[in-house]
Structure 1
Amino acid sequence: MADDLEKLRKDYEELLGKKPFNGWDAAELQKRIDDKLAGEIRADDESGIPAPADPFPSQADLDAMRAGTYGNRELKIR
């Protein structure tokens, strides 16, 4: 069991690029690894909640909104 936990910790670190929380058990580590492999979380997201790469509008979009020329354009994200 301890070997499994160490292997999961190593896999998590390789996959996400950071060390896992020491309080996580094997089941939690496996869940987070599976979520990452499924593309559901970003490497820097600890919450496990899917998030867009960058939810903020570009500077050009902000300028167009302020000038009133934005119209029906689709919002571009950086």
Structure 2
Amino acid sequence: MEIILEKTTKPFFKKHAGSQALAKERIGAILEREQATGLTKVKLALRQPVAGRPCFELRCNLAKLGSVRVAFILDGQVARI
């Protein structure tokens, strides 16, 4: 799954410098697993669609970075975080 990080993630990765590759890898694996199981642990983050698609939210454990909430939009095999 391809992960595209939006500008809104910049403050998080500025705080946790050097961990962007690890976070993208872990989030990609978690999203692939959730997509395969039917998005069972996912809930809506916003009521209005963003760019015509629903915006979902998921809790991810990123090892050293701890637990974070990730809002994303799925478009096939592309996830915009």
Q: Normalising by the residue count of structure 1, what TM-score does the alignment of the two structures yield?
A: 0.28
Name which structure has the greater RCO, CA cutoff 8 Å, separation 6+: 2
More strand by proportion, 1 or 2?
2
More helix by proportion, 1 or 2?
1
